Amino acid sequence: ASGRSYTTSSLIIGYALCSSLLAVINKLAITEFNYPALLTALQYLTSTLGVWLLAKLGFLHHDAFTLETARKFLPAAFVFYLAIFTNTNLLRHANVDTFIVFRSLTPLLVAIADASFRNQPYPSKLTFASLVIILAGAIGYVATDKEFTLTAYSWAFAYLVTITTEMVYIKHMVTNLGLNTWGFVLYNNLLSLMLAPFFWIATGEYIDVFSSISSPSGGRNSFLQPAAFFAVSLSCVFGLLISFFGFAARKAVSATAFTVTGVVNKFLTVVINVLLWDKHASPFGLLCLVLTLLGGVLYQQSVT
């Protein structure tokens, strides 16, 4: 039991560090490389090739890719792609604090959805109170957000819906599909990569990408620019790391506990964001943001 607890703690810490750093890294990447669909596709490509190469070298083992399993996992990959796509566009149009606040709203929704659709116990009174504190902090932040724009908050609500669905549905897939952790990483990223071209066409982003490539200077947001290359490369590496730690942690804890972990680790994100640049909330907005994170600290996992 102690060994299992140590393993679970290690996975949670690994996921927390990757999640807290990736929010700032992705904000930097989308600022320097303003192509959200292409950015996410590069992350999926890196993760897919990374798993394949490490398996060939004997460093890891993943389940074999079969069309039958891919068919079963495709809906989960589609929801995951939507969550990452809306996340990237939210970071494109809003600051990191706005992203964190809406991310903080997900535990309450996930707890309700987990109980309603996966027959998990409803949160205890203390747990529910902590989730309400998260909600109160989020409402306070939104009410005082001077950088409110309809575009940013439209992406924020789209992200809120998709990430809540993703948390519950992928937990269901992880529990029932029977793949090992690297198998989930491979299927999720490979199928997401296959979905990417449809979003390039649907959003018209491919036109901007081709225009940038044909431009003599490579375009302001060219991948060849040193700052863009570094930011995109770093986001791709952390994308692979969070894929592993994310799926491993999903196996180890409940959907709500996993969601709250993604909220609490944003303490580090807030500190980095405030120190790195001026794209953050007002002092009162930061206070409301901290309140949402404190609600996450008070959370207690309702499923043993």
90 near 159, Cβ under 8 Å? yes
pLDDT at 250 > cutoff 90? no
Take residue 12 and report the two structure tokens written for it: 């949670």
Q: Where is average pLDDT lowest: 48-52, 104-108, 199-203?
A: 104-108
3-state secondary structure the chain: CHHHHHHHHHHHHHHHHHHHHHHHHHHHHHHHCCCHHHHHHHHHHHHHHHHHHHHHCCCCCCCCCCHHHHHHHHHHHHHHHHHHHHHHHHHHHCCHHHHHHHHHCHHHHHHHHHHHHCCCCCCCHHHHHHHHHHHHHHHHHHHCCCCCCHHHHHHHHHHHHHHHHHHHHHHHHHHHHCCCHHHHHHHHHHHHHHHHHHHHHHHCHHHHHHHHHHCCCCCCCCCCCHHHHHHHHHHHHHHHHHHHHHHHHHHHCCHHHHHHHHHHCHHHHHHHHHHHCCCCCCHHHHHHHHHHHHHHHHCCCCCC
pLDDT at 301 > cutoff 50? no
Residue 81 has a pLDDT of 92
Q: Identify the residue with better confidence: 231 or 170.
A: 231
Residue 297 has a pLDDT of 66
Residues 6+ away with beta carbon under 8 Å from 163: 83, 86, 87, 103, 106
What's the rounded mean pLDDT across residues 19-33?
87
Q: How confident is the model at residue 97 (pLDDT cuts 50, 70, 90)?
A: confident
Residue corresponding to tokens 């750093």: 21
Residue 220 has a pLDDT of 52
Residue 130 has a pLDDT of 80
Residue 302 has a pLDDT of 43
Q: Identify the residue with better confidence: 255 or 192.
A: 192
Domain ranges of the chain: 1-303
Q: What percent of the chain has pLDDT over 70?
A: 86
pLDDT tens for residues 170-219?
Answer: 877 877 888 888 999 999 999 999 999 988 888 888 888 887 777 655 55
Residue 193 has a pLDDT of 94
Residue 158 has a pLDDT of 93
pLDDT tens for residues 118-170?
Answer: 777 777 777 778 878 877 887 787 777 666 788 888 999 999 989 888 888 88
Residue 86 has a pLDDT of 92
Q: Where is average pLDDT lowest: 6-20, 71-85, 240-254, 271-285?
A: 271-285
Residue 222 has a pLDDT of 60
Q: How far apart are CA 19 and CA 24, in angstroms?
A: 9
